[in-house]
Amino acid sequence: MTKDRRTAIAALLVGAGSWGVLWYPLRALAQQGLSGVWLAVVLFAGAGLSGLLLCRIRRRCAGPWRVGLALAFLGGVTNIGFVVAVLNDNILRVTLLFYLSPVWSVLLARIFLRERLSAVVILGVGGAILGTLILLWRDATLVLNFSDILALTAGFSFAAANVILRAYPSLALETKILSTFLGVVVVGLLVVVLSAPVAPVAPARVWVYAGLLGGIGIFGITLFVQYGVTALAVRQSSVILLFEVITAAFSQHILLHRVLSADAWLGAIVIAASATLVGAYEP
């Protein structure tokens, strides 16, 4: 294994692991009055400022405007959906539903990029769907709550963005990051205007903390993830990204003393195994 490959894997593990524990400071901020879509807007406004600074330093923020617009919209849906979901539901459940994204990525790549679907990949997709049904089955009724829908939508948007990036491999890293950050801010503000235009009442220091968490934390995590995803094959990176599920499970257990039921764990195992099968398979 080359040094560059080891560095990429390490960066992806750090980034994915950090996303798995990010829910804790997000909930801490929400408990102090800054929550929901407003929290996502402030976080990614801070990250966007750091992204603009990076672009100014490196002078590499360029690319097709249609691609940037698509990445901005999908990034907005992905991150707002994920943030709101983890603030309101079981962390591991939300993370697992989000990480059906390798399955959506394979299906979208087949439709738009004409990538071949092998029997192994089809088996993995079917297994992931089965795991989702097990995870969501409550009292013999398939139940989707609002957070489930947000997590699934966020995962699908994440997969769609990855397919676009696969179609434009030469797009600058700075462009990818900045498009995503600004997209969250714009989409979030649109949601706020249409639903709750009144800003939440929270101490000024909480707004500052959220901006710093975005400008330093989310910006840094995104750099790690984007570097790893860019340097590794998509199927390989999708497997490593499942490390977020592990850190989410342990952090939830340690910090909240909360666990899933036995049937939910079965669904989680099936989803993780299926996503791994899809991600690791090399035709």
Domain ranges of the chain: 3-280
- The pLDDT of residue 157 is above 90: yes
Quote the CA–CA distance of 71 and 176 in Å, as a whole number.
Answer: 7
Contact 282, 110 (CB under 8 A): no
Structure tokens at 55: 């672009």
Q: In sequence order, what DSSP letters do the residues of 52-95 get, joined into one string?
A: HHHHHHH------HHHHHHHHHHHHHHHHHHHHHHHHS-HHHHH
Contact 282, 241 (CB under 8 A): no
Strands (E), 85-212: 137-138, 141-142
* Residue whose entry in the numeric block shows the structure tokens 């009055």: 33
Contact 210, 46 (CB under 8 A): yes
With vertex at residue 261, the alpha carbon angle to CA 259 and CA 263, rounded to the nearest 5 degrees, is 140
Quote the CA–CA distance of 125 and 270 in Å, as a whole number.
Answer: 11
Q: Which residue has the higher pLDDT, 138 or 229?
A: 229
Quote the CA–CA distance of 29 and 213 in Å, as a whole number.
Answer: 10
171-225 pLDDT, tens digit per residue, is: 888 888 899 999 999 999 999 998 867 888 899 999 999 999 999 999 999 889 8
21-49 pLDDT, tens digit per residue, is: 999 999 999 999 999 999 999 999 999 99
Query: Residue 215: CB partners within 8 Å, gap ≥ 6?
Result: 46, 47, 49, 50
- The pLDDT of residue 16 is above 90: no
Q: Which residue has the higher pLDDT, 53 or 8?
A: 53
CA-atom Rg of the chain in angstroms: 18
- The pLDDT of residue 152 is above 70: yes
Nearest C-alpha neighbor of 42 from the set 199, 166, 153, 277: 199
As to burial, measured by CB atoms within 10 angstroms (0-12 exposed, 13-18 middle, 19+ buried), residue 182 is: buried
Structure tokens at 26: 């997000």
Q: How high is the pLDDT of residue 151?
A: 93
Tell me the whole-structure pTM to 2 decimals. Answer: 0.85
Contact 278, 128 (CB under 8 A): yes
